[in-house]
Amino acid sequence: MHNFSYQNGELYAEDVPLATIAQQVGTPSYVYSQATLERHFKVFDQAFEDLDHLVCFAVKANSSQAVIATLAHLGAGADIVSGGELVRGMAAGVPADRIVYSGVGKSEAEMQAALEAGILMFNLESAQELVALNEVAGRMGLKAPVSLRVNPDVDAQTHPKITTGLSKNKFGLDVDLAFKQYQEAANLPNLQLKGVSCHIGSQLTKVDPFADALERLGVLIGRLRGAGIELELLDLGGGLGITYDQEEPPSPAQYAQALKEQAARLGLKLVLEPGRVIVGNAGILLCRVLFTKDTPTKHFVIVDAGMNDLVRPAMYDSYQAIWPVKQDGGGSKVISDVVGPICETGDFLARDRELPDLVRGELIAVMSAGAYGFSMASTYNSRPRVAEVMVSGGRWSVVRRRETVEELMRGERLPEWME
Ligand SMILES: *Cc1c(COP(=O)(O)O)cnc(C)c1O
């Protein structure tokens, strides 16, 4: 569900014609619907309403201040994976005690910043990380609230690059090892054992892997209880998929249904870390056709956005729907490759796609670009990062202005011997 739709033959974001945004802000631009964002968060949150729970938005999916603040107003916490995301989350109004900090490689400076802020919990992923955090907290005279991230070794049945819960993946601790590490951690004076966590992957379209992971965590929680270790929080991570093409992922209600009974039995407060399912379909990438060209084998539509702006097709071979801003009048279709200006063969947004005959100057919307879109953008080919626009009803606002080339070079200098 989202709020991008055709009205009188023209594509709108809520009540704003995308053509108006393109004209005033230029292209490419990311455009977000605040109504979609709010709805997605509420539907997800309400799916768990009969359980004690906290929904921590995974900031890496979309780190825009306007997006995080929209969710924070609805009571969202944040799942962060860096010191930068800590600053962003707090600047956007997420209270520190609703922030969980995940990731395999936290630096001591990042640990210190998060301890100073007073976050809810660190999700730790290795024995050495436990020791390091214990030391940092000790130096600060604090006790760090921690969970261990378990790698439950379940197959998320998603793209290999976004599978994180298999034992060959770098994430988490295997269940038996985690049990041992909890016992060691209990002896570290500056750690407070607070919870257990997992995150098995992204863009999952079935509930079974989540339920399997929860079951394995449940066994571990039982063993820990037997060993006198009581926890408060059960963090099940994120990963619920969305519809990009023909996928039929479970709804948040179905997802919650599959987990609630088991979770309730364990008696811990549930933490959830959804990213994609909240923002994915709440954003589009608005771009313009620069040229078209035919080769002996292909029809190319060259647009002004590339893999540096939206890397998902290049990185994960992912499908992004392409909608023309001026509604297709039902004319002839052309099998097209939609490609960007970057000097890489991997720079494409769509391949062998049946599309209307797009012409030079025409606007298109790359759909479902709200998650892992702008947040993964780079400046490769010295392309400044694009503008971001938030729409709410008939209002719209540039929530991040287009970067300039001067900003790209800021901080650079020649070596002294060349000046
Ligand atoms: C990326 C990530 C998430 C969010 O994943 P989605 O698939 O976007 O829901 C949640 N938790 C952790 C630890 C992550 O790394």
Q: What number is the average pLDDT over the span 190-203? A: 96
Report pLDDT for 146. 98
- Identify the architecture of domain 4-32+280-409 in CATH: Beta Barrel (2.40)
Q: What's the CA-to-centroid distance between 203 and ligand 1, angstroms?
A: 9
Atom of ligand 1 nearest to the CA of 240: 9
CB atoms within 10 A of CB 418: 6
Please confirm, yes or no, whether 343 is among the known catalytic residues. yes
Q: Pick from 121, 149, 161, 199 the residue to mutate for probing ligand 1's pocket: most ligand atoms within 8 Å of its CB.
A: 199
CATH number for 34-277: choose from 3.90.650.10, 3.20.20.10, 3.40.50.1820, 3.40.50.300.
Answer: 3.20.20.10
- Distance from the alpha carbon of residue 35 to the mean position of ligand 1, in angstroms: 22
Residue 393: φ, ψ to 5°:
60, -125
In degrees, rounded to 5, the angle at the alpha carbon of residue 386 between the alpha carbons of residues 276 and 56 is 25
How distant, in Å, are the alpha carbons of 49, 154, 156, 166 from that of 163?
A: 28, 10, 6, 7
Mean pLDDT, to the nearest integer, of 317-321? 96
Taking CA atoms, 380 is separated from 97, 245, 318, 324, in Å, by 37, 28, 20, 26
SS3 content of the chain, % helix, strand, coil (to 5): 35, 25, 40
Distance 370 CA to ligand 1 centre (A): 14
Which residues are CB-neighbours of 150 under 8 A, at least 6 positions away?
172, 173, 174, 175, 178, 196, 197, 198, 216, 217, 220
Taking the C-alpha atoms of residue 348 and residue 364, their distance in angstroms, rounded to an integer, is: 14
Question: Computed from CA positions of residues 92, 96, 98, 104, in that sequence, does the dihedral angle turn out positive or negative?
Answer: positive
Q: What's the pLDDT score for residue 160?
A: 81
pLDDT score of 328: 87
Ranges for all domains in the chain classified under CATH 3.20.20.10 = 34-277
Report pLDDT digits (tens) over 57-95.
999 999 999 999 999 999 999 999 999 999 999 999 999
Q: Which ligand 1 atom sits nearest the alpha carbon of residue 102?
A: 13
CA atoms within 13 A on the CB side of 99: 27
Model confidence pLDDT, tens digit, residues 273-292: 999 999 999 999 999 999 99
**Ligand 1 pocket, residues with Cβ under 6 angstroms:** 58, 60-61, 79, 81, 102, 199, 202, 237-240, 273-277, 371
Query: Angle at CA 384, nearest 5°, toward 378 and 389?
Result: 90
Q: What pLDDT is attached to residue 330?
A: 86
Assess whether pLDDT exceeds 80 at residue 162: no
Atom of ligand 1 nearest to the CA of 201: 7
pLDDT mean over 3-26: 98
Give the per-residue pLDDT at 171: 85
Max distance between CA atoms of the chain, in angstroms, equals 71
Mean pLDDT (the chain) is 96
Residue intervals of the chain classified under CATH 2.40.37.10 are: 4-32+280-409
pLDDT of res. 161: 81
Q: Evaluate if pTM is beyond 0.95.
A: yes
pLDDT band at 399 (very low <50, low <70, confident <90, very high): very high
Q: Atom of ligand 1 at shortest distance to CA of 276?
A: 8
Predicted local distance difference test score (pLDDT) of residue 159: 83
Q: How far is the CA of 237 from the centre of ligand 1 (A)?
A: 6
Mutate to test the pocket of ligand 1, among 59, 273, 279 (most ligand atoms within 8 A of CB): 273
Residue 168: the pLDDT is: 81
Closest residue by Cα to atom 3, ligand 1, is 238
Calculate how far, in angstroms, residue 274's C-alpha sits from the geometric centre of ligand 1: 6
Between 154 and 365, where is the model more confident? 365
List the catalytic residue out of 56, 198, 287, 343. 343
For ligand 1, the distance from its centroid to the CA atom of residue 276, given in whole angstroms, is 8
